[in-house]
Structure 1
C-alpha cells in the first residue's frame, strides 16, 4: 500500500508552491510526470525545475505518456474513457516501482478546481490513501495579476468552462463568470457589447500576457494574441473573467 499526494503547483511559477507542497515533494520517493508530446515538452521541464528547486536529493521520477482523448460517443463518455486510460498509465508507472511508498503528482493550479486527478486516483487498484496539498488557482493568479476582486459587491460569480458557455449561454444569476478550459474563445458566442473581460495567459509566469477592456474592443486582440502565443510556445494556458454590465438607466 502506498500514499498518493496531489500537490498543487499554481501556474508553473515556482514561487506559487506552498511550503506545505514543497515539504510533500521532499517526502516523496516517486513522482509521476506526464508527457504531452514534443510541442509541450517544457511542461514536464517546469515540473522538473520545481522539484530541483525544493530538494537537494530529487526523488525517483517516472514519466508516462498522456493518451489521446477520443471524441466519438459524446464528451462525457470520451472523458470517462480517457480517465480510465490515464489511470492505467499511473498504475503501470507505480507498479514498476514497487518500493515506492510516497508517490506524488504535481498538479497545475489546484487539484480541486477543474482538475480530474482525484477522479483518476479513485480508479487505481487498490485505491491508495490520498493527500491533497492545495495550490494557487489560475483564477487567483488572474485576479491578482489584474488587481481586481473576483466578484461584485455582495454578488455571486460562477466558474465554468468554454464548452458550457457555448452550449448553455451566460450562467443564470451570475454577474461575473470565470471561464477555464476554453480553446475556442467562447466569449464570441455572447452578446459581446454587454460584457467586460479580463484575460490572461501563462499568468504568474515570465511569459505572462494580460488584456482587459470592453469585450467588443479587445476580443479580436485576444483571439490573435492567443493564437500567436500558442504557436510560439507549442501550448497555452489561459483563463478569463467576464463581467456583465448592468443596465443603469
Structure 2
C-alpha cells in the first residue's frame, strides 16, 4: 500500500453506540489502526467503552489497536494555561511515536473522541502539533460527533436557550468566578468543584444535570437549583468514589422576565 497516510479524528458520541453518526461509522470501518490513549486506573473503562463502540460498528475486527498511557496533567499548577500547554505537548510526543511506528504509507489511523472533537477536547490540537513537527507526514480529517451536552439536553427534553436568548458553554472554573454577562442559560463542563453551589440562593435558577450520559451508568437530576443542588453533590461524590472517575455536565438556567413583565 502506498500513498499518503491519513489521521481521522472521529467523534463517537457520549457513550451510546447508537449515537455514532453514519459518517463516523464509515470512518471506523475504513480505518486500519486505532490509537488509544489509555487513562490509568479505573478510568481505563473509557478505553473499554471505545472498544464496545468498535465491536458494535466494525464487527469483523479487521483493524489494529495501538495503546499508550495518556500523560498525566498537573491539576494543581498555579498557571492553568501553562499546565495545559505542557500536557498537550507531552500528549503530542506520545501520539507522534505511535503514528511513526504504527501508521504505514497509505494507511488510515483514527483517534476516537468522546462527544464532539471540537468541544473541550485536545486531540485536534495535538494532531496538528504532530503534523507541524514534520517528522511524520499525513493528512487529517475530522468527523463531528454528538456532544455530551447535546445528549444531556435530549435526555432531559430541553433546549439550550430560552426564546430569543443566548446560551454560553463554559467551564466550572469560569462559572465559579461569576455568572457570564448577557446570558441566562449556561452550559457547564469540567466542573470538578461543584461551581453551581455558588448560585443556590439565587431565585428562579434551575439545573439539568447528568453524569455518564449515554452509558449504562447514566444519572440524571433536574429541578430548582436550591432544591436539588445538595442531591447532585452527594450523587456526584458517590458516583465518582464508586467508579474512580466521572464525566458530567449541566445546564444552569435563570428565569427570564416575561414580555409583560419587561414593559
Do they fold alike, i.e. is TM over 0.5? yes
Quote the residue 2:196 is aligned against: 187
Equivalent residue for 1:113, pick from 119, 124, 133: 119
Instruction: State the number of aligned residues.
Output: 248
Alpha-carbon separation, structure 1, partners of 2:102 and 2:123: 20
Give, in angstroms, the shift of residue 207 of structure 1. 1.2
Residue ranges of structure 2 left out of the alignment (5+ in a row):
none
CA distance in 1, matches of 2:71, 2:51: 21
Verify: 1:153 aligned to 2:163, yes or no: yes
Q: Which residue of 1 aligns with 2:12?
A: 9
Distance 1:12 1:26 in 2: 18
Mapping of residues 56-135 of structure 1, within 5 Å: 56-70=60-74, 71-99=76-104, 101-124=107-130, 125-126=133-134, 128-135=138-145
**Mean alpha-carbon deviation: is it higher for 65-74 or for 82-91?**
65-74
Is the CA contact 1:4–1:103 (under 8 Å) kept in the aligned structure 2? yes
Q: Which runs of 5+ in 1 are unaligned?
A: none
Give the secondary structure class of the aligned counterpart of 2:207.
Answer: strand
TM-score by length of 2: 0.90
Distance 1:45 1:192 in 2: 41
Larger Rg: 2
TM-fit CA distance, 1:246: 3.5
SS at 1:123 equivalent: helix
User: How far apart are 1:247 and its partner, in Å?
Assistant: 5.4
RMSD: 1.5
Task: Please report how far the alpha carbon of residue 232 of structure 1 lies from its aligned counterpart in structure 2 after TM superposition.
Answer: 1.4
> Is 1:227 paired with 2:237?
yes
Distance 2:249 2:150 in 1: 11
- Matched residue SS, 2:95: helix
